[in-house]
A = this chain, B = another copy of it.
Amino acid sequence: MLQRSNHNRSKRACPVCARRKVKCDRLVPCSNCVKRGQESECIKFVTNKSAAIAANSESEYLPSLLQLWQSYEYWVMEIGLFKTKDITEGSRKKVSIIENLSECTFWQDCLNTEQSYSLLNFSVENLGPLFFGCIVDINELFTQLERYWRRRDKESRTRNTFNDTVAKFDSDDYLWDALLWSVFTLSFYYMPVNEISKIFPLEPICEHLNIDVKQEWTESLQLLIYERYLKVTTTLLMQSDFMNNPNIKFIQVYLILSNTTLQINNNTLSDSLLLQCIQVAKFFNIDFHKQYAEDDPFLGISKETFGKIWFKLCIIDYYQSGPAKKIYINNEIPSLLQHAAFYQDMPNFNIYKKEDNFESFCWKIVSLERDLDQYLVKSFKPQIKTFDAIKRELEIFNKKLDFNKKPKKKSNEISSINTQFENFLLLFLLNLVSWKLQKMCLIHFETADSLSLSMHYSQNIIQLLIKNVSDGNYIFNKHPWVLKGLSRIISFYSYYNIFVESPEIEQLYETLSDLLSVLPLLLGKKVNNLKFLIVRLNKLGVLWEKVNVVGSLTGSIHPVFKILQNDIKAITRANRKVSVMTNAMHLLGRNDAEEGSGEDEELMLQTESEEFRLIVSQFEAEHDISEIISI
């Protein structure tokens, strides 16, 4: 997610790099230290220096605590929670294409014509903003669904009569199948369980899954079957032989699936698919969508969709970047701030003008998020004028959004579900980025009202999510942005809670916590991992209260601090996949021991008391951070 961009360097190299006389990129921890496995020293450098001094008063140690939070937020809440996977476990799992194909056939056979139209209709009526943008003509989907059924009828008639190994479909057929199934998957993911129960009889499904037929449709069953649908879609993609046949439909399928939890729960697959999308997008020059006056109407329509696809792809590309996905394209669109001055100077620039389209509007907001989040791993303060510029942009966007909403209300009494969904997503994004801005202001400039403003935006987001439920739009809360956004907000206040006693924050935290417990089950197991992290932060709060850093612990930092640093270290370690090429390991007769860490540990022993280490290790044994990165 966060890219290690080149400008804005800090003035001081970390002590490790300084000692080695190598170029330090001043990130926290810096790239060299991460690669060398010395990230703990690097993190300590930034966080310990002030923490050690700040012995008593809250106002003294809070700034350095918040500084530590920046790295923690990036490494633990973003990379650790959403983008780290223990790959050694996965590679031992049995794989079988034949098994996938037969599963794929089963679920395709399970879906009849009527059900398929119900799913397609549901998506068109409710989930428009999630996929209209990447498709030139929605009617085409209905035409293709007809063709899909003709194809299947023909196939079922010839099945068993001819040799099954004879190829019947071309790459394009499979991609259309995959595109339709990506829409089915999307619908199945978002559809309320009571509607599903009206459309799908449980019996055949339960029989296949070998579970009690007597039971009713539940969200957990929906989750189970959504995952199978997802598998059908990816299996259809594989069948299209996409590596030999670049096709824009591949991108469309991926963009549609990106509205589910694919990215959150299968990040390795998601990264691979995204990379393929980038290749296809470049192959078809989708990044070149500028329209010319002399373009014929057809090219114009194509380019319009290209533009939307490109923005959507850049958003996903940004949200997915990190140590496991280092090739990215979103940097090809520069920061909006570089245009801001330009906008201001233009005499007839109308800030109330409607945005061109939903996709470019989303991208613009996300690009501001990118401008903010880049500071998470930088060891120096951003300039206040940067924050002011972002704030100004956000205000303009807010006005544009108001404008967006108004005309709809005049023409129709109640705006369509699609419009409501679109507005929710924009408002959610806008409030989230505003929240991030205030949080950053608090951390870097301790601005007087930034804490209360951050709470204001949190409340806005809470209200949005609650309103969805009360308006009957509970399904909007299944959007992956909700989980990712909420995880940042709730973890920040949990962290703040450790060190600062404040009834307001306590209150806000309780509300957020309640919200977390009623998040849609469809969001999957990452919700539980998030809950685990939040509980863990609370336990750290208890430890903070209990242990007093005087007497025997003099000269050292607080164990809570140590644990937080270790957490970051654990995640960076899990992402430094350097020693995996172990073919020749037996030759050396060595174990896959953490290289270099021995030296590291020895250093610790000198400064840390037995009691200190016991507290840390006991906590870490009881609340193992690696639980969030296991599969």
Measured CB to CB, the residues of A under 8 A from B are 35-36, 87, 90-99, 101-102, 135-137, 140, 164-172, 174, 238-248, 266, 268-269, 271-273, 275-276, 278-279, 282-285, 288, 292, 294-299, 301-302, 305-306, 324-327, 576-585, 587-588, 590, 595-596, 599
Contact = CB atoms under 8 A, between A and B. Distances in A.
Nearest to A235: B97
Contacts of A271: 279
A279 B325 contact: yes
Contacts of A595: 295-296, 298-299
A581 B296 contact: no
B170 A579 contact: no
A167 B137 contact: no
A69 to B, nearest CB: 27
A511 B568 CA distance: 66
Given A35-B288, A297-B588, A326-B282, A167 B583 contact: no
A169 B95 contact: yes
Given A244-B268, A295-B595, A324-B283, A165 B99 contact: yes
Given A36-B292, A298-B588, A169 B276 contact: no
A243 B243 CA distance: 12
5 contacts: A94-B169, A95-B245, A96-B166, A136-B581, A140-B584
B94 A298 contact: no
Most buried by B among A93, A238, A298: A298
B245 A578 contact: no
Q: How many copies does the complex hold?
A: 2
A247 B580 CA distance: 9
A101 B238 CA distance: 13
A297 B284 CA distance: 46
Given A246-B268, A579-B302, A580-B248, A241 B95 contact: yes
B137 A584 contact: yes
A118 to B, nearest CB: 23
A243 B234 CA distance: 11
A6 B180 CA distance: 42
A90 B245 contact: yes
Nearest to A326: B282
A97 B90 contact: no
A582 to B, nearest CB: 8
Given A283-B324, A595-B295, A306 B581 contact: yes
Nearest to A245: B91
Given A266-B244, A584-B140, A95 B167 contact: yes
A508 B296 CA distance: 50
A478 B172 CA distance: 35
A279 to B, nearest CB: 5
A581 B577 CA distance: 39
A583 B165 contact: no
Contacts of A239: 95-97
Nearest to A239: B97
A240 B294 CA distance: 49
Please give me the 10 A-B residue pairs with the lowest Cβ-Cβ distance, nearest first. A96-B167, A94-B167, A243-B272, A136-B584, A137-B584, A282-B326, A95-B241, A136-B583, A298-B588, A91-B171
Given A87-B246, A244-B268, A577-B285, A94 B583 contact: no
A101 B95 contact: no
Contacts of A164: 98
A137 B587 contact: yes
A168 B96 contact: yes
Nearest to A137: B584
A577 B140 contact: no
A588 B301 contact: yes
A581 B284 contact: yes
Given A140-B583, A282-B325, A302-B579, 4 more contacts: A94-B169, A244-B269, A294-B596, A298-B588
Nearest to A274: B279
Given A93-B171, A581-B302, A327 B327 contact: yes
Contact of A284 (B92, B296, B580): B580
Contacts of A273: 243
Contacts of A169: 94-96
Contacts of A585: 298
Contact of A577 (B242, B284, B297): B284
